Amino acid sequence: MNAPASPVNPAASRARILAVTSGKGGVGKTFFSANLAAALSRRGLKVLVLDADLGLANLDVVLNLHPKVTLHDVFTGTATLEQAVLSAPGGFSVLLAGSGLVEYSRLTPEVRERLLGVIEEVKPRFDMVLLDTGAGISEVVLYTVSLADEVLIVATPEPTSMTDAYATIKVLALQQSRRELRLVVNQVARGGDGRGVATQLQQVVDRFVSPSVEAPVRINLLGDVPYDIAVREAVKKRQLVVETLPGSPAAQAIVALAARLSP
């Protein structure tokens, strides 16, 4: 069902734009984004998740939605933004992208202009916009991240994930002059293990990145989310863990992270 369009008030405070990204796929970024949005909505915020993984979108799968109108239709002018913004389980709104659209694998001037236009249009309508980006450091991902006020990197304790998270941090520091980045460590074995991951990343950044830029790059650990069988069950059922299993360790951790992100 389409969410009712909110009147645009030019004087309204603009939304906080938060890019949720990762160095590699498979770290649970999209599932985390959706559950974070639900937790933020519970705190009274009006939240939109924009599926910015153009061409390889799967937010619709996570939320078990079957959209008739997507971001592609808005880009091509065959539908309005109001028609494309949907209500999602969890009390937030979503703007879903199409899947398998090869034209969005490259950052063309058209993709750049249309994505910027959509984000500018939704800013006055929400308190927070989460940009669920693709993984890696492609031109499309980096441009999407450049449109955000803040960046949150999702990683896991796995060495490959940490290596790719460092690569992402390095590129964002050098190319976008990012000096502060938030970090969430997903699928930790024990609560608090995220601190060790953040410390290791910070040490490498201090050694190899900060000396090359004007000011030190800081990784701010927002928190960690434990490995939890409840997450696997929620993924299988295409449900939000904070909605269906709110007492699970993962759900409680995400709710705590939302509290730290709230104004």
The mean per-residue pLDDT over the stretch 98-104 comes to 66
Question: In the structure, what pLDDT confidence band is assigned to residue 261 with cuts at 50, 70 and 90?
Answer: very high
Question: In the structure, what pLDDT confidence band is assigned to residue 104 with cuts at 50, 70 and 90?
Answer: confident
Mean pLDDT of the chain: 92
Query: For residue 257, what are the CA distances in angstroms to 41, 173, 183?
Result: 13, 24, 11
Task: Please say if the pLDDT value at position 100 is more than 80.
Answer: no
Judged on CB neighbours under 10 Å (0-12, 13-18, 19+), 200 is middle
Residue 12: its pLDDT value, please? Answer: 46
Question: Could you tell me which residue, 12 or 43, shows the higher pLDDT?
Answer: 43
Residue 55: its pLDDT value, please? Answer: 73
Residue 99: its pLDDT value, please? Answer: 67
Token pair for residue 102?
A: 């090869």
- Dihedrals φ, ψ of 168, to 5°? -65, -45
Tell me the one-letter amino acid at 201: L
Residue 101: its pLDDT value, please? Answer: 63
Q: Residue 107 falls within a domain, yes or no?
A: yes
Q: Residue 226 falls within a domain, yes or no?
A: yes
Residue 168: its pLDDT value, please? Answer: 98
Q: Residue 9 falls within a domain, yes or no?
A: no
Give the range among 74-83, 86-95, 105-114, 173-182 with minimum mean pLDDT: 105-114
Q: 3-state SS of the chain?
A: CECCCCCCCCCCCCCEEEEEEECCCCCCHHHHHHHHHHHHHHCCCCEEEEEECCEECCHHHHHCCCCCCCHHHHHHCCCCHHHHEEECCCCCEEECCCECCHHHCCCCHHHHHHHHHHHHHHHHHCCEEEEEEEECCCHHHHHHHHCCCEEEEEECCCHHHHHHHHHHHHHHHHHHCCCEEEEEEEEECCCCHHHHHHHHHHHHHHHHCHHHCCCCCEEEEEEEEECCHHHHHHHHHCCCHHHHCCCCHHHHHHHHHHHHHCC
Domain count, the chain: 1
Output the CA torsion 235→239→244→249 (10° steps).
Answer: 30
Angle at 254 between CA 86 and CA 186, to 5 degrees: 105
Residue 130: its pLDDT value, please? Answer: 98
Q: Residue 1 falls within a domain, yes or no?
A: no
CA atoms within 13 A on the CB side of 16: 15
Which residues are 188's β-sheet partners?
Answer: 226
Question: In the structure, what pLDDT confidence band is assigned to residue 107 with cuts at 50, 70 and 90?
Answer: confident
Give the range among 9-23, 191-205, 218-232 with minimum mean pLDDT: 9-23
What pTM value is reported for the model? 0.92
Task: Please say if the pLDDT value at position 252 is more than 50.
Answer: yes
Name the region of 130 (left: φ>0; alpha: ψ -120 to 50; beta: rest).
beta
Q: Residue 248 falls within a domain, yes or no?
A: yes
What whole-number percentage of the chain has pLDDT above 90? 83
Token pair for residue 88?
A: 């999602």
Q: Which pLDDT tens digit goes with each residue over 109-161?
A: 988 999 999 999 999 999 999 999 999 999 999 999 999 999 999 999 999 99
CATH code for the domain of 23:
3.40.50.300
Residue 156 lies in domain: 17-261
Q: Residue 10 falls within a domain, yes or no?
A: no
Distance from C-alpha of 236 to C-alpha of 239, rounded to nearest angstrom: 8
Distance from C-alpha of 69 to C-alpha of 23, rounded to nearest angstrom: 29
What whole-number percentage of the chain has pLDDT above 70? 93
Question: In the structure, what pLDDT confidence band is assigned to residue 10 with cuts at 50, 70 and 90?
Answer: very low
Task: Please say if the pLDDT value at position 193 is more than 80.
Answer: yes
On whether the CB atoms of residues 201 and 183 are closer than 8 A, the answer is: yes
Q: Residue 155 falls within a domain, yes or no?
A: yes
Residue 96: its pLDDT value, please? Answer: 94
Task: Please say if the pLDDT value at position 22 is more than 50.
Answer: yes
Task: Please say if the pLDDT value at position 3 is more than 50.
Answer: no
